[in-house]
Chains A and B, each alone.
Chain A
Amino acid sequence: MAEAIRLTYEISPDDFTRAGEASSDVKKKLKSLGVPPEAVRKVSIAMYEGEINMVIHAKGGLITVEISPDQILMILADKGPGIPDIDQAMQAGWSTAPNEIRSLGFGAGMGLPNMKKYTDEMTIDTVIGKGTTITMIVKI
Chain B
Amino acid sequence: MTVRDAMEILNAKVLVGEDNLDQEVKSACGSDLMSDVLAFSKDHSILLTGLCNPQVIRTAEMLDIVCLIFVRGKMPDDTILEMAKERGLVVLWTEHRMFSSCGRLYQAGLGAGAFGGAF
Interface residues, chain A, with chain B CB atoms under 8 Å away: 16-20, 23-24, 27, 37, 41, 44-45, 48-49, 52, 92, 102, 104-111, 113-114, 116-117
What residues of chain A lie closer than 8 Å to B56, measured between beta carbons? 105
Please judge, given known A-B contacts A23-B62, A27-B61, whether A45 and B38 are in contact too, CB under 8 Å.
yes
Main secondary structure of the interface of A (DSSP, over half): helix
Asked if A24 and B63 make an inter-chain contact with CB atoms under 8 angstroms apart, the answer reads no
What residues of chain B lie closer than 8 Å to A105, measured between beta carbons? 32-35, 51, 53, 55-56, 59
Could you list 16 examples of A-B contacts with CB < 8 Å?
A20-B54, A20-B58, A20-B62, A27-B61, A37-B64, A44-B61, A44-B62, A44-B63, A92-B119, A104-B55, A108-B33, A108-B35, A110-B38, A111-B35, A111-B38, A113-B119
A23 to B62, CA, bound (A): 8
Chain B interface category by residue count: 10 to 19
What residues of chain B lie closer than 8 Å to A109, measured between beta carbons? 35
